[in-house]
């Protein structure tokens, strides 16, 4: 029986940093690949020694680089409204000049979880349809207001906040079907415990990393608005709930 290779599709703002960072601390660095780190700073990697591949820049097919291990892809999805508000809060918590949510939200990618998993299914290391690899080192050094202005122009040209591509939804569902495990951020305590036990780890101290300040609270009106704007993500999230309940561990609970 082959040793498992744990590969994490880390959708932004779904709470995966805690797991990735904790595992990175207890295993030798040659056994853990953080793809987001080497994406912009290429480094030589001995894939034969890897046990874990984490980060936003993972993609389906990366397991072929480690043919002697059994690939176990996994991911976490989050309620679309909770995720969008968390995304806004983390962006604004360090800004002196806070952009109102309505202004910020109109230039955000709709159905971003679907877009992300569609890219992974197609074998892309990209984590966003708007942040191309070649420009990211420049974007990271820019003032957020400038970045926001550039994105707004980009959105007007390509209309990325208006597309509801059913084909991408189907690809995203296929990607979830290929995963060994699909967890939910709202059930992270239970789901992380299951994963850690499955990985053969007796104990793992998980710190809550990436937690944002509550600049904006989610209410029913805002929740319904976000659901309406992101119908494919809502459908994908409900599909993830169904997949999660099929796992034997949860059926026995």
Number of domains within the chain: 1
Looking up tokens 């020694």, which residue turns up? 49
- Give pLDDT, residue 252: 45
Give the pTM. 0.83
pLDDT at 1: 81
Q: What angle do CA 87, 92, 96 make, to 5 degrees?
A: 175
Give the dihedral sign, CA 56/131/108/114. negative
CATH number of the domain residue 82 falls in: 3.40.50.300
Alpha helices in 70-207, H assignment, sequence order: 80-92, 101-105, 112-121, 136-139, 144-158, 166-177, 188-198
Distance, in Å, from the CA atom of 252 to the CA atom of 196, rounded to the nearest integer, reads 18
Query: Which pLDDT does position 145 carry in this prediction?
Result: 52
Query: For position 130, what pLDDT does the model report?
Result: 47
What pLDDT sits at residue 194? 92
Per-residue confidence (pLDDT) for residue 42, from 0 to 100: 59
The partner residues of 70 in beta bridges, in order of sequence, read: 4
Q: What was the pLDDT predicted at 205?
A: 80
Cα distance between residue 103 and residue 149, in whole Å = 11
DSSP of 149-167, one letter per residue? HHHHHHHHHH-TTS---HH
The pairing of beta strand 4-9 with beta strand 32-34: unpaired
Each residue's pLDDT, cut to its tens digit, for the chain (253 residues) gives: 889 999 999 998 998 888 888 998 899 999 999 987 766 565 688 999 999 999 888 999 999 999 999 999 999 999 999 999 999 999 898 888 888 999 889 878 889 999 999 999 999 987 664 444 444 455 445 554 555 455 555 555 555 555 558 899 999 999 999 999 999 999 988 999 999 999 999 888 877 655 667 889 999 999 999 999 999 999 999 999 999 987 655 544 4
Domain region containing 233: 4-251
């Amino acid at each position: 029986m082959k040793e498992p290779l744990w590969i994490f599709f880390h959708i932004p703002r779904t709470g995966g940093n805690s797991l990735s960072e904790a595992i990175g601390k207890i295993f030798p660095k040659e056994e853990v690949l953080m793809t987001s780190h080497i994406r912009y700073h290429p480094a030589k990697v001995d894939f034969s020694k890897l046990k874990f591949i984490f980060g936003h820049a993972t993609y389906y097919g990366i397991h072929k680089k480690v043919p002697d291990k059994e690939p176990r892809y996994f991911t976490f999805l989050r309620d679309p409204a909770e995720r969008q508000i968390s995304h806004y809060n983390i962006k604004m918590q360090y800004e002196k000049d806070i952009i109102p949510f309505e202004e910020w939200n109109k230039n955000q990618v709709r159905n971003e979880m679907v877009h992300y998993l569609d890219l992974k299914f197609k074998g892309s290391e990209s984590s966003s349809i708007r942040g191309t690899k070649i420009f990211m080192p420049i974007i990271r050094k820019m003032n957020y207001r400038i970045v926001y202005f550039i994105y707004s122009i980009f959105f007007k040209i390509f209309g990325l906040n208006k597309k509801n591509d059913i084909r991408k939804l189907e690809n995203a569902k296929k990607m979830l079907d290929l995963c060994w495990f699909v967890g939910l951020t709202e059930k992270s305590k239970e789901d992380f415990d299951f994963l850690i036990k499955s990985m053969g780890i007796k104990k793992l101290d998980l710190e809550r990393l990436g937690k944002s300040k509550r600049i904006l609270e989610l209410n029913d009106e805002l929740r319904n608005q976000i659901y309406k704007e992101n119908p494919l993500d809502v459908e994908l999230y409900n599909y993830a709930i169904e997949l999660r309940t099929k796992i034997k561990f949860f059926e026995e609970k």
